[in-house]
Amino acid sequence: MDRTRVNIAVGLFLVVGILALGYLSIKLGRVSFLGGGGYAVTVDFPSVGGLKPGSTVEIAGVEIGRVEKIGLADYQARVTLRVNDGVKLQEDAIASIKTKGLIGEKYVRVSPGGSDKLIAPGGKIREVEAPVDFEELLSKYIFGKV
């Protein structure tokens, strides 16, 4: 009888541990099911320069969303952003790809515009700044073409 209670306690502890591990994996990995919250906005960049799906989207250093997917459209990189519901983007907002630190991860920085018109869900940010290609810049400096 004593052995059965120990087995049941260990089994319950194991099940609770696995459920806690699954919950933490989803929360810390920022996995969203069924499309997640927020709304989609697209941006066309000449080059994504190392940006990956899942990268952050920020305004003034505050995370407002994530990069949902990256594809090719008309020989440009079409980036789909998933922006949080509480954030409204102006029609003349500017999107740029930046790097955290010198060799850190890439993220999309959105500079808000001054327009009264807002981008509708499924809309498009028209103004972009191309990412700086450090390899190209360094090679120009090294070979004296600056």
pLDDT for position 99? 85
How many whole angstroms separate alpha carbon 120 and alpha carbon 88? 9
Q: Is residue 35 pLDDT above 70, yes or no?
A: no
Mean pLDDT (whole number) for 137-141: 79
How many whole angstroms separate alpha carbon 51 and alpha carbon 47? 9
Give residue 80's pLDDT band: very low, low, confident or very high (50, 70, 90). very high
pLDDT for position 100? 85
Helices assigned H by DSSP within 30-146: 134-142
